Amino acid sequence: MTTALVSFITSLGEAFGVGIGFIFQSEWEHIVAAAVSENRLSKQYILSSNDAGQSAALIAAVPLEVQTVYRQIVAQVIDKLFIVLGSLSGLAFLVSLIDENVSLGRMRLPEVLKLSLKWEEH
C-alpha cells in the first residue's frame, strides 16, 4: 500500500512538474524576446528557456542593469504561473460544486480499515 501511494504521488508530482515547467519556459521565451525587441536586453545576454532553471547563478554574473531586467522577467513569469494555477484551482472548485457525489471508491472508511487489518494478519 505504501509503495503504491509513493508511486502515485511521485507520478502526480511529475505530471504537474512537467506542466508547470512548460508554462515557465514558454513564458520565459516570450518575455525575453519582448525585452530584446524593446531594447531593454542586449542579445549577448539572452538566457534561453533551457537556462532558466539556473538563471539565479547565471544572472549574478551579468551587469546590474541586465540583472534588473531579468528580475522583472522572472517576476512576470511567476505572475503568469500564478494566474494559470489560480485559474485551474477555480475551475476545479466550480467542478466540485457541480458534482453532487464524488466517490473515490465504493467502500467506506470502516470497511477499508477492516480490510487493512485483515491484510496485516497475513
Residue 3 cell numbers, joined? 509503495
CA separation for the pair 97, 30 (Å, rounded): 35
Q: What is the count of structural domains for the chain?
A: 1
Residue-wise pLDDT tens digits, 42-81: 888 888 877 777 777 788 888 899 889 989 998 999 999 8
CA distance linking residue 110 with residue 22, whole number of Å: 42
pLDDT for the residue 122: 52
Asked if residue 1 lies in contact with residue 116, where contact means CB atoms within 8 angstroms, the answer is yes
In Å, what is the CA distance from 34 to each residue of 13, 40, 41, 99?
31, 9, 9, 42
User: Cell numbers of 32, please?
Assistant: 525575453
Q: Residue 33 is placed in which grid cell? A: 524576446
**pTM (global) more than 0.75:** no
> What cell does 78 get?
511567476
What distance lies between CA 82 and its chain's CA centroid?
9
Domain holding 104, by residue range, is 2-121
Model confidence at 113, pLDDT cuts 50, 70, 90, reads low
